[in-house]
A and B are shown apart, each in its own frame.
Chain A
């Protein structure tokens, strides 16, 4: 089926799959590090496995991004 992943339409060979399965198909290395928006609504992490995707769904993977100030600073 077609999914709009991060703004681009992609063909996924599965006809049914969940958010968790899509993360695996897209080889997202650390699913704990990704926030998922489905058609503009955030999907709770606990619901990833129970959230099915359908044709033309828009899925955005948003990643944590740190960096910015110093590199050696550890807040403790």
Chain B
């Protein structure tokens, strides 16, 4: 790949960056990243990855933009209310960086389609809001040997970890989805909009580090932060022998949709 003058200008702040350079930018431009969820986490992740010049960005989301989203889902604007989120995001990406190819999948990620969704991508970002999807993405990526970034936010807190084949997976930490109705969601508990931005941006940085090979990924570590105190802590985690997915005697060998919704949000919100 050789860059045009316009590209050299657009990506100059990456290119002059130690350890990235032309070569790193070429890797970014050749990279393919799938973002599952075009909401609070997916919005900042998509914006930064598009600006960075990631060659192909896949967006998976079955939803449309709602007014309650606008407080934090910064890729969607007020006139987008009612529009599929993947289309709204695709339109913004085209304006930020027309060089980026966007694949918009207006669907939920489920057991029957997740393998098809992830198979052509180098790195997957879990930017979903619910545990069935988070566990499904983990299981599909671990079984397919795909690297991915997990992210979760609630109120003023965020947590994230990155998985590469062979490192601790989400099920090493949490073996199964939590019991129904125990986890409050953003709709019930609220979330500070900027916390979504902080976490989604960390996930985008992990994707860019993965593509360029720069630095140390958040593997075998769970980064937890509390925006109220701005304390960040990376808890070392170890791949668990008892993990039902990647442990010594795995009980999960194929993908299934967890039956539970997070909780009854329509009545609980």
Contacts and interface: CB of A to CB of B under 8 A. Distances in A.
Interface in A25-76: 30, 32-33, 35, 37, 40-42, 44-45, 60, 62-76
B187 A68 contact: no
A43 to B, nearest CB: 10
B100 interface: no
A8 to B, nearest CB: 10
Contact of B152 (A37, A68, A71, A76): A68
B96 to A, nearest CB: 20
A51 to B, nearest CB: 13
B158 A65 contact: yes
B233 A68 contact: no
Interface string A1-43: 0000011000000000000000000000010110101001110
A32 B182 contact: yes
A66 B69 CA distance: 16
Contact of B269 (A32, A42, A68, A72): A72
5 contacts: A64-B183, A68-B196, A71-B269, A75-B108, A76-B259
Interface of B: 37-42, 61-63, 66, 68-69, 85, 108, 110, 126-134, 151-154, 157-159, 172-175, 178-179, 182-183, 185-187, 191, 196, 199, 222, 224, 233, 235-238, 240, 242, 257-259, 261-262, 264-266, 269
Interface of A: 6-7, 30, 32-33, 35, 37, 40-42, 44-45, 60, 62-76
Given A30-B182, A74-B261, 7 more contacts: A33-B182, A42-B173, A65-B153, A66-B185, A70-B66, A70-B129, A72-B68
